[in-house]
Structure 1
């Protein structure tokens, strides 16, 4: 187990950057949100948010999302936060290899064996190939090489295309140069939201010998091409056996006991093939061992897990106490695996 810590210099650099970008108005608005939800005095929350950000590595949105206003010091210490996650990414994800995760075309090339679906790249002069691929698939997903939170992802149906040269030209002009076969998800995922491919975020750390699973979250969409929050999606944390820890929630104060469209009770969700998912994560974590700390997006299909993407900036998914009643997070697991 590594015992390297995170180092003071990166932390100070991060805090300095945060101080230069601080939006006091945004902090106050978040504090008012927490005040209304938890019955706390707004000025006290503002002061606490600033203290936590400056001395405890807690992002302002972390403070709101993870209900820090109702947690004591020991409980707060169990939560992974975005500033700490960012420091881990900077330390353990080699800059020389990050582009393989940042660029979706490069990612598909490197991890092609684990995608388990067809894909192609749009180039000048290959309109016929694009047409053949799209007509064979019926429906395809296109992606811009660089994007985050689901931006740059689109879905097209071959039956809707009248002019294939114009379709090809439009893809090039908009930068949607990666085309992929649509994933067919497991029926247990489709039972919650059939219109969106619902991904499982598995945050993991590869120490050079062993892959440690740090946290698992199940994301659910609302019928759009992506299950990200920008498309109305939400998530629930999963326990080590792949069972939902409670209702679903997002960063916009929305809580979903039931899926708004299907009526599925989120707390009843069980990730299928969870052992296969863990084995799969261990396999993909070894492909680029120089990038050790990754948030893997995976979909379980009837045949097993497939890879959607890997995020070298893993981000943070955590338990929300006001929703689940559980007042602890995943940071002890991170500490045990990484040693910071």
Structure 2
């Protein structure tokens, strides 16, 4: 595939923005922790982090998360990073269509056929409808239309609600305008963490004809309404067959050989229905072809994959060498599919 390039202007703009917002204290703290973990000199790590950020498009947290301190230059070059991912999002996700992914209500409307669950919108005057929906479901999930990293997601039980008019007013006041039926996940996912719906992040690129799966990460929760790290969640990378490549980890230096609550050995995890998941991603990627680079959050249920959301700013999930023993990342797959 001929190179399409990412262009110098977006990169310079990104670097300038990062330079304006750099938190020196945070960088030093990351450097100290990294140096202590890998037995390196803090000044050397600081210099390497700054050089990597300025000349190799490596975010400071990328440097920490993917153990760049112990990787050689060739190994580092195989890792996808957030600055590069941001450039891909800006170039291949058309701005006129991004709102369909940013607004969760709009997303549910556009991708309704792939949700495989009931949902409704909270509006003035529909307290009775909210009550009927909630009582019928027993437990519901509410979402604020715009939120990131699991923020704005809540879970309510009908048995706990005494005043339905007050509940309705509260939803409106807090901006929790989207209500969804709770997803029932596959028993293989529930075996790891039954209290949270555990999502599979599939990062993919649609080139107009073919959907390329770039990376697959399995996220696990800790019993909260979301499996995001802000709720104590963590992830492990999956291979092309849907098998975990090693233990789980997060961006807070926590490593989980076993799930802290269930005791499940993370490296033993096998995503069920992996072939159906790949086929499902190909179908959802064609719904809004103008947004080509997406991180799809999917849950495998007993009846097959269902869609949770799509992230036009896909973010990055990568191997952590000190945990998995894998010293290469997914960037070659990105290059082969996208041609940058």
Q: TM-score, normalised by structure 1?
A: 1.00
**Relative to 1, partners in 2 of residues 1:2 and 1:165: Cα closer, same or farther, differing over 3 Å?**
farther
The residue correspondences of 1:46-125 to structure 2 (distance < 5 A) are: 46-125=46-125
- Asked whether 1:313 is paired with 2:307, we answer no
The residue correspondences of 1:236-251 to structure 2 (distance < 5 A) are: 236-251=236-251
2:196 is aligned to 196
2:284 is aligned to 284
Count of aligned pairs between the two proteins: 340
Query: 1:319 Cα deviation (Å)?
Result: 0.2
2:219 is aligned to 219
Q: Quick one: distance in 2 between partners of 1:324 and 1:210?
A: 30
Query: 1:3 Cα deviation (Å)?
Result: 2.4
Q: What's the RMSD between the two structures over aligned residues?
A: 0.5
Query: 1:20 Cα deviation (Å)?
Result: 0.7
Query: 1:2 Cα deviation (Å)?
Result: 5.5
1:134 is aligned to 134
Q: 5+ residue gaps in structure 1?
A: none
Q: Quick one: distance in 2 between partners of 1:20 and 1:178?
A: 36
1:38 and 1:70 in contact (8 A); partners too:
yes
The residue correspondences of 1:23-34 to structure 2 (distance < 5 A) are: 23-34=23-34
Q: Quick one: distance in 1 between partners of 2:311 and 2:256?
A: 26
User: CA offsets per residue over residues 63-115 of structure 1, 9 Å max, x none?
Assistant: 00000000000000000000000000000000000000000000000000000
Q: Quick one: distance in 2 between partners of 1:281 and 1:240?
A: 14
Q: TM-score, normalised by structure 2?
A: 1.00
2:322 is aligned to 322
Runs of 4+ in 1 over 4 A off after TM superposition: none
Q: Quick one: distance in 1 between partners of 2:152 and 2:18?
A: 27
1:143 is aligned to 143
1:199 and 1:299 in contact (8 A); partners too:
yes
Q: Quick one: distance in 1 between partners of 2:14 and 2:300?
A: 36
1:2 and 1:338 in contact (8 A); partners too:
no
1:245 and 1:267 in contact (8 A); partners too:
yes
- Asked whether 1:235 is paired with 2:224, we answer no
1:143 and 1:154 in contact (8 A); partners too:
yes
The 3-state SS of whatever aligns with 1:108 is helix
1:21 is aligned to 21
The 3-state SS of whatever aligns with 1:280 is helix
The 3-state SS of whatever aligns with 1:275 is helix
Q: Quick one: distance in 1 between partners of 2:74 and 2:111?
A: 40
The 3-state SS of whatever aligns with 1:203 is strand
Q: Quick one: distance in 1 between partners of 2:290 and 2:84?
A: 19
Q: 5+ residue gaps in structure 2?
A: none
Query: 1:24 Cα deviation (Å)?
Result: 1.0
